[in-house]
């Protein structure tokens, strides 16, 4: 199993409805493919974690790269793993406020550099903390 973290630029003018459609389709397709993960979005920036069977995750990432709703896709981190972080989420979603967006933008700006394991771990922990908080509020 692998975990892949990538960022991309949303198509200019993307709407909340577009994102809702992306999430709805992703949840269905990911469930069928054994993929879990989370989409973080704010402004025109996407950051997503995909985890699951290696071939399924790589096929999903290729499909995302071919999707006209985003561009400038960059893999920030990819690793083999035995345990899922997002095992209960076929596709979680987190909308960012401007401060969080800036933190993500800064991480995205360093995407051409080697991402330190601590940065990746802290990003994943933050995703998980926020998703758990979202679960409790539903």
Nearest to 27 by CA among 58, 59, 2, 50: 50
Token output for 82: 């035995």
pTM: 0.73
DSSP helix/strand/coil, 78:
strand
pLDDT at 118: 64
Cα 47 to chain centroid, rounded: 4
- Distance, CA of 33 to CA of 55 (rounded, Å): 10
pLDDT at 19 over 70: yes
Token output for 104: 């993500």
pLDDT at 1 over 90: yes
Q: What is the pLDDT of residues 41-62, one digit of tens each?
A: 877 788 889 999 999 999 999 9
Q: Where are the domains of the chain?
A: 2-137
pLDDT at 132: 62
- Distance, CA of 57 to CA of 54 (rounded, Å): 5
pLDDT at 87: 82
DSSP helix/strand/coil, 101:
helix
Query: What does pLDDT average to over the chain?
Result: 80
Q: What is the pLDDT of residues 84-118, one digit of tens each?
A: 988 877 787 777 775 666 666 666 566 545 556 66
User: Quick one: fold of 2-137?
Assistant: Alpha-Beta Plaits (3.30.70)
Render 111-128 in DSSP notation, one character per residue: TTSPPPHHHHHHHHHHHH
pLDDT at 99: 65
């Amino acid at each position: 199993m692998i975990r892949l973290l990538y960022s991309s630029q949303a198509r200019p003018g993307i709407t909340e409805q577009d994102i809702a459609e992306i999430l709805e389709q992703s949840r269905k397709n990911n469930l069928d493919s054994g993929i879990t993960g989370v989409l973080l979005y704010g402004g025109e920036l996407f950051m997503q974690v995909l985890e699951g069977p290696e071939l399924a995750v790589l096929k999903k990432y290729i499909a995302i790269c071919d999707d006209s709703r985003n561009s400038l896709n960059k893999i920030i981190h990819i690793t083999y793993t035995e345990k899922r972080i997002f095992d209960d989420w076929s596709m979680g979603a987190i909308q960012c406020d401007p401060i969080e967006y800036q933190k993500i933008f800064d991480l995205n700006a360093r995407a051409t550099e080697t991402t330190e394991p601590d940065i990746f771990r802290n990003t994943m922990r933050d995703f998980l903390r926020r998703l758990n908080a979202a679960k409790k509020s539903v």
